[in-house]
Amino acid sequence: MADTEDLDELLRAMASPHRRAILEQVWSRERGAGELAQHLGLAPASVSEHLKVLRKSRLVDLRVDGSYRLYRARPERLRELRHLLAQAFPDPGDTASSDTASSDTASSDTASR
C-alpha cells in the first residue's frame, strides 16, 4: 500500500508540464526560484508553488546558502519512480514476470475449484 501511495504522489508531482520543466532545469545544477521563474517565463509565486510540490514529493532538495535558496533534483527519486512503475506495470515480455503471473493464475484457478 505504501508503494502505491508513493507512486501516486510521484505521478501527481510529475503530471504538470511546469514541474517537469523545473525538474529539467535543476537536474544538472542548483538554481534559485527567481532564476527558474525568469528562464521558464513563469510568475515567481507559480514557481514557488511548483517547487513546494516537488519538495513534498522529495523530487528536489533545497539548500540555503546565506540569503539564497537553491534547488537541485534528486535523481534517486526518479529511479524509485521507475522501479515503482516497473512493479505496477511489469513488462509482458519479461519471462520472470510472466512465470510469476502464470503461477499466480494457476494458484487462483486451483483455489477456486
Domains in the chain and their CATH numbers? 2-88 (1.10.10.10)
| Under 8 Å between Cβ of 22 and 62 | no
d(CA 4, CA 85): 10
pLDDT at position 42? 97
pLDDT band at 96 (very low <50, low <70, confident <90, very high): low
Cβ neighbours of 13 (radius 10 Å): 22
Tell me: the pLDDT tens digits for 28-61?
999 999 999 999 999 999 999 999 999 999 999 9
Residue 103 has pLDDT above 70, yes or no: no
pTM: 0.77
DSSP-derived pairing of the beta strands 68-73 and 31-32: antiparallel
